[in-house]
Amino acid sequence: MKVIDLHREEKQIIEQAVLNNRQAQHQLYTKFSPKMLGVCRQYIKDIHHAEDVMITAFMKVFTNLKKFEHKGSFEGWMRKIMVNECIDFIRVKKNVFNHQEIENIILSENEDSFEIDAFSADDIQMLIDNLPDGYRMIFNLYAIEGYKHNEIAKMLRISEGTSKSQLSHARKMLQEQVNLLKRKQNGTK
C-alpha cells in the first residue's frame, strides 16, 4: 500500500502548492527539478539556458497548477510544460523554423537505424547535442518524447514532411557520428 500513500502524499503537496504554500512548491521543485532539467537539456545544449528555461517552466507549472486535474501523471503534465517552454525558447532564440529553405528539404526514404548500446549516456547526449537545433528538436520530440509527425508539425508550426525530413537527416547525422565514435574506439580512425 506504499504506492497509494506516495500518490496521496503527492496529491496533498500539489493541493498545498495550489494554495501558494511555498514549502509545498519547494518540495515539488526539489523532487522534480533534476528530471525536468534533464528534459530541458535534451533540447537546449547550454546548461545555463536549460536551467533558465526549466525555472521559467516551473513558474508556469505553479501558475497553472490549479488546472492539473489529477488525471494521469503529474510528472507527465509537467514534462509537457517543460518541452513546450524549450520549444518556445528555441523558436525565439534561434528563429529555427521561420526559414523557407527548411520547407524545401528533400524527403529521404532511407531511415537507417543505428545502435547506441555500446555508448555511455554522456556519449549519447553529446551526439544529440551536436545535432543542429532543428534536427535535435525533431529527434527529441519523436524518438524520446514519442510524438507523432503530425503532432510535431502542429506544435512547431511546420509541415509534416519537414518533420519527417528533419528526423531522417538527424538519424543520418547520428549514424555518421556513431560510426566515427566506433572507429575511434576500435583505433581505426
Task: Tell me the average confidence (pLDDT) per consecutive run of 10 residues in the chain, 189 residues long.
Answer: 61 92 95 95 90 95 92 92 89 50 30 50 77 88 86 90 91 84 72
Nearest residue to 7 via CA among 15, 108, 145: 15
pTM of the model: 0.61
User: What is the pLDDT, as a whole number, of residue 90?
Assistant: 80
40 phi and psi angles, rounded to 5 deg: -65, -40
User: What is the Cα–Cα distance from 132 to 87, expressed in whole angstroms?
Assistant: 14
Nearest residue to 122 via CA among 134, 113, 130: 130
User: What is the Cα–Cα distance from 16 to 24, expressed in whole angstroms?
Assistant: 6
